[in-house]
Chain A
Amino acid sequence: MSFRLRVIVLMTVLSLAPYIVTMIVMGNVYRDDYERRIRDNMTHELDITNERIEQSFQSLRKDMAFIASLDTMDDLLTGDLDKRITNLLVLKKNDMQLIGWFDVIDTDGNVVASSNPDRIATSADSSGLFSVPIRSSFDDNQLGQLTIHYSFENLDRFLPESEHSHYHLIVEDQQVTGPLNTDPVISVSRVLTDWPAVTVTLEQERQFAFSLLNSAENLFVIVLLVGIFVIASIAFFVATIIVKPILQLSGTAESITQTQDYSQRVAINRNDEIGQLSHSFNLMINGMQDMISRLKAENENRIKLAKEKDRAEMLQDLSTKLSRYLSPQIYESIFSGEQDTTLGSSRKKLTVFFSDIVDFTSTTDQMESEDLTNLLNQYLKEMSDIALRYGATIDKYIGDAIMIFFGDPKTLGVSEDAKACIEMALEMQRRVRELKSEWGAAGYSKPFSIRIGIHTGYCTVGNFGTENRLDYTIIGSAVNLASRIEGQAEPGTVFVSEDTQLLVRDHFSMTPTSTFTPKGFSQPIQLFRVISSGVTRSEIVIEESGFSLKLDSQELTEAGRQDIKTRLLNLIDDL
C-alpha cells in the first residue's frame, strides 16, 4: 500500500470513525429504544381497544340486566306465550347487531325464549358468554336467566385495521380472526378479562414500524458515503501535498539508481522533516559518490595489480621453463639483476671442468637407443645435481661431455673455487663408480667410466652471440687447456693442471703423472692426478684398468685391519 493511499485511508477512517461509531451505537441503542416505544404505543392502543371491549361487555351486562328486570320477563312464567320476550330479544339483538343470540332459560334449564327461534324449547347449554338472573317483578323470585351467546366475530368492530397493523383474536391458542401475516412483525397481546379464553393480539409490520428509523439510517449511510467521498478527496489533496517531496526524493533516488549518476541532488526548499530528509539524502549521496570514487580508484589499482600479477606469474612460469636451459647460477644472476643480458664480456680467473665418458661412441653402438637415453639422462642428472650442490656453473652439455666452471657469476675466491671444483670432481667419480655397480646389477654389460680434466686460468666470460640470441659462456685458452687435460686423463681419474694443483695442494693428495704439450701451447703442461681429498690420507682409492681399491683406515676396526693386511699380502703374492 502506497503512502498516499495510507494517508487517504487513515484520514478517512479517523475522520469518519466517530461518525460511524455514533451511527452504529445510536442505530443499535435507538433501535431497541424505538422498538420499546413502538411496543409501548401498541400496548397502549391494545389497552384502549381492550378497554372498549371490556366497556362493551359491561354495557352488555347492564343491558341484559335491564332486560332481565323488565316486567316482560314475567312472561317467562307463561312460557312466553305472547312471544314478548322473544320479540324483545330479537329487537335487542338487531339493535346490537349481535352476531349470536340471547336465550331466556327457565329454572328447569329449558330455553323459553330466544332471539334465535331454533333455540326455543331446547335444553340450554353452557356455551353462553355470560348470564344474568331473571327475577319476577312481583316477588323477586328468580324465574330463570338471560344468557348471551356472543360470537368473537362481534369483537371485530372494536379492532381497527390499518394497512400495516392488524388485530388477531386467539381463542384457545388458535387464531380465529385477522389476516395471517408472514412478514416479521412486532406484536403485543392481552387476555380479555371477561373472556379469558380470548387473547387479543396487535401486530405491526416490523418493516413499517422501523420505516422511519430505516429512513434515518439510509440518510446516515448516504451522508456517510458523501462524507467518505469528500474526506477522501481532501485526504487525496493533502496526501498529494505530503507525498510530492517524497516522490521527488524517490524519483531522484530511482534516477540515480538507473543512471548511476551520483552527481544528482534533491532540491531543498523547505525546513520541515521532509527538508531534513532531503538534506540527509543529499549527504548520503555525497558519501556514496566519494565512496564510489574511492572504490573505482581502488578497483583500477586492483585490476592493474592483477594484470601485473598475471604478467609476473607468466614471467615466472616462463623463467622457470627457461631456467631448465640455464645454469641456476646464471639464471639467478640474470633474474636478480646481477647479470646483464646485453652483449659483453669480462675476463676472470676461473676453474674450468671438463668430463667425458670413456669410449662413449663405441658404447652407444652396442646399446639400444632407449637404454642409452636412460643411462645418459640419469648420468647427466646425477652429475648436474652434484655440480649444483658444489655451486658450479654448468656451461653446457656437449653430447656426453660436460663443461663446468667455477668463479662466475658467483665466486668464493679462486682457490676456493678450484677446491670446490676438485671436490665436485671426486664426488662425481665416486658417484659414477656407484652408478656402475647399479647399472651392472641392472644388467648393463658395458658400464660407463668417465675422465675429468680441470684447469684454472683466465677466461673471457660473458654474453656471446647476437642481440636476438645470446649465449652465456666462457672462451679462452684456459678452456681449451682444460678440455685437453680431460682428454689426457685416464678413465675413472681426475687430472688437474699445475695451475690448479698449486691452488689446492694443501687440500688434496695429488700425484704428478705426466707432462704434455697441447696444440697451440709452447710449454709442456704438468698434469697431476688427484688421489683423494685431504692431505693426511684416511682413504686410499686406487683405480686402474682391471684393478680397483678403496681403503678408509679410519673406518676399519683393528680386527678388520689385520684381516685386510692378510688379504692384501695374499693378493701381492698372487700378483
Chain B
Amino acid sequence: MKCWLLILLILFSQSTLSADFAVIVSATSGIDVLSSERIRDIFLKKRRFAQGKRLVPVNLLGSKPPRLAFERRILEMDRLNLQQYWTASHFKGVTPPATQASLASVKLFIEKVDGAIGYLPIEMVDDRVKVIYEF
C-alpha cells in the first residue's frame, strides 16, 4: 500500500509540474489539436473520426510508463476499469486499439499509417510526427 501511494505521489507530482508525454499524429496529418476528451473517445473507440478524418489509435503494449500515464491522465481509468470496459465493448463488437510493443514502433506506426494517433514521451517527438496534445 505504501508503495502504491509513493508511486501515485510521484506521478501526480510529475503531471503537475510539466508534460512528459505527447499525443501525436503523423506530420502529414491535417489534425493539429485535439482535446483530451476527444482523444479519450478515440482511444476508447467511442469516436472514430475527428475533423473529418478517420483516426487509428495505437497503444503501447504492456504497462510501460507512457501507457500508464496515458490511461491515468487521458483515459482517466485504471487498468481494472479499462479491462472491464473493453470486456463490455467486446460484446458490442468493439475491440481495443492496435498495440505496438515499443515506443519506436509506435512512432513508426504513426508515420506509416494514415490517421494513426498515439502517444510518446515528449523527448521522442521529432518532425516526423505532429503533437496534438501533451500530458
A316 to B84, CA, bound (A): 169
What are the residues of chain A within 8 A of B105 when measuring CB–CB? 75, 78, 81-82
What are the residues of chain B within 8 A of A71 when measuring CB–CB? 95, 98-99
Given A138-B56, A139-B56: A78 touches B98 (CB 8 Å cut-off):
no
Task: Kindly identify which residue among A77, A84, A138, A139 contacts B112, using a CB–CB cutoff of 8 Å.
Answer: A77
Closest residue of A by beta carbon distance from B59: A71
Write the residues of chain B forming the contact surface with A, with a CB cutoff of 8 angstroms.
Answer: 54, 56, 95, 97-102, 104-105, 108-109, 112-113
- A137 within 8 Å of B by Cβ? yes
- A79 within 8 Å of B by Cβ? yes
Q: In terms of DSSP, what is the predominant structure of the interface of chain B? A: mixed
Check A82 against B113 for contact (C-beta < 8 Å): no
What are the residues of chain B within 8 A of A84 when measuring CB–CB? 101
- A74 within 8 Å of B by Cβ? yes
Closest residue of B by beta carbon distance from A74: B98
Q: What are 13 A-B pairs at a CB distance below 8 A?
A: A74-B99, A74-B100, A74-B109, A75-B100, A75-B105, A77-B108, A77-B109, A77-B113, A81-B100, A81-B105, A82-B101, A136-B113, A139-B56
Check B100 against A78 for contact (C-beta < 8 Å): yes
A499 to B57, CA, bound (A): 208
Check A78 against B56 for contact (C-beta < 8 Å): no
What are the residues of chain B within 8 A of A136 when measuring CB–CB? 98, 113
Of A79, A138, A139, most buried by chain B (CB within 10 Å of CB) is A138
What are the residues of chain A within 8 A of B98 when measuring CB–CB? 71, 74, 136-138
Closest residue of B by beta carbon distance from A87: B101
A246 to B24, CA, bound (A): 128
Given A138-B56, A139-B56: A78 touches B99 (CB 8 Å cut-off):
no
Check A82 against B102 for contact (C-beta < 8 Å): yes
Which A64-104 residues sit within 8 Å CB-CB of chain B? 71, 74-75, 77-79, 81-82, 84
What are the residues of chain A within 8 A of B56 when measuring CB–CB? 138-139
A139 to B99, CA, bound (A): 14
Interface contacts (Cβ under 8 Å), in number, total 40
Check A82 against B100 for contact (C-beta < 8 Å): yes
A81 to B111, CA, bound (A): 13
Closest residue of B by beta carbon distance from A76: B112
**B interface footprint on A127-161 (CB within 8 Å = 1, 0 otherwise):** 00000000011110000000000000000000000
Check A137 against B95 for contact (C-beta < 8 Å): yes
What are the residues of chain A within 8 A of B108 when measuring CB–CB? 77-79, 81
Check A81 against B102 for contact (C-beta < 8 Å): yes
Query: A110 to chain B: closest CB distance in Å?
Result: 14
A79 to B108, CA, bound (A): 9
Task: Kindly identify which residue among B54, B97, B112 contacts A78, using a CB–CB cutoff of 8 Å.
Answer: B112
What are the residues of chain A within 8 A of B109 when measuring CB–CB? 74, 77-78
A195 to B112, CA, bound (A): 37
What are the residues of chain A within 8 A of B101 when measuring CB–CB? 75, 82, 84
Query: B41 to chain A: closest CB distance in Å?
Result: 16
A75 to B106, CA, bound (A): 10
Query: B102 to chain A: closest CB distance in Å?
Result: 5
What are the residues of chain A within 8 A of B104 when measuring CB–CB? 81
Closest residue of A by beta carbon distance from B99: A71
What are the residues of chain B within 8 A of A77 when measuring CB–CB? 108-109, 112-113
A345 to B17, CA, bound (A): 216
A79 to B109, CA, bound (A): 9
Query: B45 to chain A: closest CB distance in Å?
Result: 10
What are the residues of chain A within 8 A of B113 when measuring CB–CB? 77, 136, 138
A97 to B23, CA, bound (A): 43
Closest residue of A by beta carbon distance from B113: A77
What are the residues of chain B within 8 A of A138 when measuring CB–CB? 56, 97-98, 113
A139 to B97, CA, bound (A): 11
A84 to B108, CA, bound (A): 15
A71 to B109, CA, bound (A): 13
- Extra contacts besides A78-B108, A81-B108, A82-B100 (14): CB < 8 Å: A71-B95, A74-B98, A74-B100, A74-B109, A75-B101, A77-B108, A77-B112, A78-B112, A81-B100, A82-B101, A82-B102, A82-B105, A84-B101, A138-B97
Closest residue of A by beta carbon distance from B57: A138
Closest residue of B by beta carbon distance from A84: B101
Of B56, B105, B109, most buried by chain A (CB within 10 Å of CB) is B105
A139 to B56, CA, bound (A): 8
A75 to B99, CA, bound (A): 9
A103 to B118, CA, bound (A): 28
A314 to B91, CA, bound (A): 159
A486 to B49, CA, bound (A): 207
A136 to B57, CA, bound (A): 13
